[in-house]
Structure 1
């Protein structure tokens, strides 16, 4: 009888890939985790309990068949593990790097709840697909039949790219329109390289382009081409723009020099990593070097900003968040990484205003947690008389994102939006009230996770394929 390769969580401890020392990773934008070796990947996968009700899978937006690809990895059947992983996830190597596993799959691992430490699902997922690329197991997109219908996708972020992949594999003609000069959306210009190195994204972009997807870049819908023209060109249109409008606060000094938006700061940094000339960076405006940096916010974008500031050589980096550590929305793993790298967190603090133009400080109010709000989280309350000024040469606002006013920008008043400005669309199919128009990702959900955008893109593409089913395509098969 073959030896049982699984259920080894009692004897084998959880072991993440080795993390580069903070003093080394502070000086560059390379990813901080090393790759598993084959033996280590098998060992860690073998810790899976193969439970009858896999909560890791049910708490994954893509419903990834995690227990099966962990078992296949433990058995040394890595190519099969990749095929199982790829069957439900268009970009597993990206999700393995940036998904908040501590809140999703790993956070719901049964053995974690029994005190043995979760299976390192994200690290194994990353290892499987990185190995697949190295070994040539990732096959080109090669439709068995070409279809006449075409789909236009507005937005080259994860939702749009995932939809394009599914549609193109079925032979549909796909054109992606994006305002930026590189495809990838926030994967390229929002998320720093120390979490997601850019060649990982560019490799997928090339796969799509080589597979026949047409990219129309530097294309601002509403200016360079109208929404009506895109609808006229295609049999269906998917809106996958994401949400890029920065949520603002009203406070004295908010418009002063040195009070900057997170998206501008991160985009400038990522452009520099490509070797682009970035005027705002060269002038020092969006360069944290030698500055006292204060980042306002507690989500993953704030974590990206504080850790980027460290790498740019800031004199000091502080993060202000109005709740405590336990109630922050960002990944706890990211907070730990930031603290290791020298970031100081000022919990239960909120900005009241800004001093100077250029900025010299943040007027800070101390908070305490009161009764739960409508979301069930304890609402922050001001502590009267606790104000103080935090010195700052650069303040980065990372308070989240809101949708742009697409009906106005695109001269399409019939585009259905709700009171928050996000598009009204079916959460499963992506269908809107406009015939042939679909929407996926953050422009429907509001600012959310990459993995949800991938799911939405895939589901929407399958819906379109069912609706566009061609008699000639069926006949050709």
Structure 2
């Protein structure tokens, strides 16, 4: 018992990697958390209770074998820990950085429920895979046998990349088509560097490319291109994500146009790649020295307010129509934003726009709606004007009308406009066409897109049947 490496949660308190001070971190786009040292990672992993029913695992969309890789980390067997982690997750170092662990694995940790503080699962997951890269344990994709079948994937976001990884390891020929000049989707252009440094994404893209995945970038898929992709490949995966911004439906003066959250974040991420966009250069998407108001309460809104702080905004305020307890974004992100100087105006919603800024109406929470959440109600006569130089709408995303864009009336969609696909397989009503990620679920988490991509790839391999090697020329 003296050598028991686990069950130390009673003696050892929960500890996160050191977070850089707000004054330091708000001056750059580097990640805000330092790395665990080997001893600290082992110490925190040793707090796991190795419970008989691991709720952390069951509440992880990928069902990662968390207790096992925590134990291996505590025992100093990092390479084995990485191999167990990688077995179920295509991008564990990305999930370790951006997953809302407080709502998933960590939020359901048994020792958290008992009052001892959750195991820092996300930080250990990140440490394991970063160590694997540093030590050369992450090996190139080398299929044991090449297969003749090919799959075209439309969209280079996490769902498409995860599917490509599984298919390529099985020897399938894979081509990914994407509208942007870099692969990664929102991992590259939507999520800021202070949450996910871009070299982390780039090295995974390079691993796929070196492993034989073909990328066709700067590729806008229209009706003709979709028909070409459909005819060229044995199967097609739609992994476009959802990029159409939701609108408030309020008139705006010609002199004061609000901007979309994704446009703002993309301009900032491109700048960090060394590229200035027109919107940033002309000031439309540049917060420096300006009063910024962000409308919304999700993780995208948190990305916008924290990006505006780093761009040197004079002030940053976030309007959200419910209170703090009912906001959809990560509470950890809200805390980080507050530390960095963001002001939250809870129970407020825009009523209109003026040349000076946003007309804001105060709200109160009434009876629960059909979702079980208290519905916000307007407090009459409470309007005021919030001055703003830049107004950013972070209201969520909706799917584009793919059947119309691609002239494919047989591609069935739901009443929300998402592609209708089978659960677990991603199979659609169109022969040989599958769909994964947000274009099926609506705006969701990266970890769910990875799960969908992996499941869909497995279903396609089942449909292809046993491997038939490519004949030698």
TM-score w.r.t. structure 2 length? 0.98
CA-to-partner distance for each residue in 1:332-391, whole Å, 9 max, x for gaps?
0000000000000000000001111xxx21000100111111111111010111110001
Secondary structure of 1:226 counterpart: helix
Q: CA deviation at 1:254?
A: 6.9
Match of 2:84 in 1: 84
Secondary structure of 2:187 counterpart: helix
Q: CA deviation at 1:277?
A: 2.5
CA distance in structure 2 between the aligned counterparts of 1:324 and 1:201, rounded to whole angstroms: 34
Match of 2:242 in 1: 243
Task: Label 1:471 to 1:11 Cα distance change in 2 as closer, same or farther (>3 A).
Answer: closer
Map 1:68-467 onto structure 2 (within 5 A). Answer: 68-222=68-222, 225-253=224-252, 257-356=256-355, 360-467=356-463
Q: CA deviation at 1:471?
A: 5.3
CA-to-partner distance for each residue in 1:146-166, whole Å, 9 max, x for gaps?
000000000000000000000
Task: Label 1:330 to 1:387 Cα distance change in 2 as closer, same or farther (>3 A).
Answer: same
Task: Label 1:191 to 1:39 Cα distance change in 2 as closer, same or farther (>3 A).
Answer: same
Given that 2:89 and 2:450 are in contact with CA atoms closer than 8 Å, whether structure 1 keeps it comes out as yes
CA distance in structure 1 between the aligned counterparts of 2:204 and 2:276, rounded to whole angstroms: 25
CA distance in structure 2 between the aligned counterparts of 1:471 and 1:292, rounded to whole angstroms: 60
Q: CA deviation at 1:167?
A: 0.1
Given that 2:256 and 2:354 are in contact with CA atoms closer than 8 Å, whether structure 1 keeps it comes out as no
Q: CA deviation at 1:474?
A: 11
Q: CA deviation at 1:251?
A: 1.3
Task: Label 1:475 to 1:284 Cα distance change in 2 as closer, same or farther (>3 A).
Answer: closer
Runs (4+) off by over 3 Å: 254-258, 473-476
CA-to-partner distance for each residue in 1:54-102, whole Å, 9 max, x for gaps?
0000000000000000000000000000000000000000000000000
Given that 2:145 and 2:170 are in contact with CA atoms closer than 8 Å, whether structure 1 keeps it comes out as yes
Task: Label 1:235 to 1:445 Cα distance change in 2 as closer, same or farther (>3 A).
Answer: same
Secondary structure of 1:472 counterpart: coil
CA distance in structure 2 between the aligned counterparts of 1:346 and 1:17, rounded to whole angstroms: 30
CA distance in structure 1 between the aligned counterparts of 2:470 and 2:118, rounded to whole angstroms: 46
CA distance in structure 2 between the aligned counterparts of 1:107 and 1:2, rounded to whole angstroms: 30
Given that 1:258 and 1:285 are in contact with CA atoms closer than 8 Å, whether structure 2 keeps it comes out as no
* Uncovered stretches (5+) of structure 1, i.e. residues with no partner: none
CA-to-partner distance for each residue in 1:10-36, whole Å, 9 max, x for gaps?
110000000000000010000000000
Given that 1:31 and 1:193 are in contact with CA atoms closer than 8 Å, whether structure 2 keeps it comes out as yes
Secondary structure of 2:468 counterpart: helix
Q: CA deviation at 1:475?
A: 12
Answer with 251-260 or 50-59: which moved more. Answer: 251-260
CA distance in structure 2 between the aligned counterparts of 1:472 and 1:324, rounded to whole angstroms: 58
Q: CA deviation at 1:252?
A: 2.8
Task: Label 1:471 to 1:199 Cα distance change in 2 as closer, same or farther (>3 A).
Answer: closer
CA distance in structure 1 between the aligned counterparts of 2:70 and 2:471, rounded to whole angstroms: 39
Match of 1:48 in 2: 48
Q: CA deviation at 1:258?
A: 4.2
Q: CA deviation at 1:257?
A: 3.7
CA-to-partner distance for each residue in 1:239-297, whole Å, 9 max, x for gaps?
00000000001113177544100000000000000001311101111000000000000
Task: Label 1:38 to 1:250 Cα distance change in 2 as closer, same or farther (>3 A).
Answer: same
- Aligned residue pair count: 472
User: How well do the aligned residues superpose, as a CA RMSD in angstroms?
Assistant: 1.4
CA-to-partner distance for each residue in 1:389-445, whole Å, 9 max, x for gaps?
001000000000000011111111111101111000012000001010000000000
Secondary structure of 2:5 counterpart: coil
* Uncovered stretches (5+) of structure 2, i.e. residues with no partner: none
Given that 1:427 and 1:456 are in contact with CA atoms closer than 8 Å, whether structure 2 keeps it comes out as no
Given that 1:254 and 1:353 are in contact with CA atoms closer than 8 Å, whether structure 2 keeps it comes out as no
